[in-house]
Amino acid sequence: MAHKYETVAADIREIISTSLAPHDALPSERDLMTRYDVSRMTVRAAIAKLVDEGRVYNVHGSGTYVGSIDLFSKTPKLTSFTEDMTSRGYVASSRPLALARIDADEDIARRLGVPVDTECTHLRRLRLADNNPMAIEDVYLPRTVMEIEQLHLDQSLYVQLTEAGHEVHRAEQEIQAIMLSEEDSRLLGVPNGSAALSVERVSTSRRGLVIEFARTIYRSDRYSFHIAVTRDNEK
């Protein structure tokens, strides 16, 4: 383990999961200082990380406590379809439906932040969970990010993007309810006109460059979206 605060954080995680219940108090920061023989700032860095993970919360003047959350704890994290399905207990797979070079229409260009008619790569896939259709995904990549010839359909797109120097760091997502088109209903194996969840995502690198625009349409009978939010009572 590289840094001290990480080892402290890891140890506190262990303590929490083995001997503490939600809303139990952690040892005080000064206690933890002597216990791990580190400075208070290191203890606070460790706790700050755990707070960020949603595992504990602070109460000024009182103590640090174990969070109530369970499985759905995490602060919203950007996950790939595969990661998402795996964490839900499914085996993810996919079937390519289309792969083509296209010119960005107005909508796609706006999302990608490029001029209309910019050449892009379009990948359309049926996404499966335990071999059952779960979603239809359309991904649009500017040619400057990845050429169509570079794309390997049998590998994780995120891994390929990372290897090409375009690691996704942040994304804005827009979630809507839509009614499925006839084609999409057929692909997903649900009645025509069913409601579905549309998640549109614009992903950017750490430097703020737009890497992809993706629209994923999930069948509503099998999929829902979880997020945890906190209320910042600050300015």
Partner DNA sequence: AAGTGGTCTAGACCACCGC
Partner DNA sequence: CGGTGGTCTAGACCACTTC
Q: Which residues of the chain form contacts with DNA (CB under 7 A)?
A: 3-6, 26, 28-31, 37-42, 44-45, 58-64
Q: Closest separation between CB of residue 231 and its own copies, Å?
A: 4
Nearer to DNA, 5 or 213 (CB): 5
Which residue of 14, 130, 174, 183 would you call a contact of its own copies, by CB under 8 A?
174
**β-pairing, 119-129 with 63-66?**
unpaired
Q: Closest separation between CB of residue 109 and its own copies, Å?
A: 17
Helix (H, G, I), strand (E, B) or coil at 157: helix
Q: Which listed option, DNA, its own copies, none, makes contact with residue 29 (CB within 5 to 8 Å by class)?
A: DNA
**22: nearest Cα among 66, 53, 55, 62:** 66
Residue type at 156 in one-letter notation: S
Residue 77: which residues within 8 A CB-CB, separation 6 or more?
A: none
Binding residues among 185-204 for its own copies as defined by CB under 8 A = 193-197, 204
Q: Which listed option, its own copies, DNA, none, makes contact with residue 90 (CB within 5 to 8 Å by class)?
A: none
Binding residues among 50-109 for its own copies as defined by CB under 8 A = 57, 59, 65, 67-70, 72-73, 75-78
CA distances from 77 to 13, 54, 73, 84, 200 (A): 19, 12, 11, 10, 15
| Alpha carbon distance 24, 12 (integer Å) | 13
Cβ-based burial of 21 (10 A; exposed 0-12, middle 13-18, buried ≥19): exposed
Binding site for its own copies (CB under 8 A): 22-23, 41, 57, 59, 65, 67-70, 72-73, 75-78, 167-179, 193-197, 204, 206-208, 218, 220, 224-233
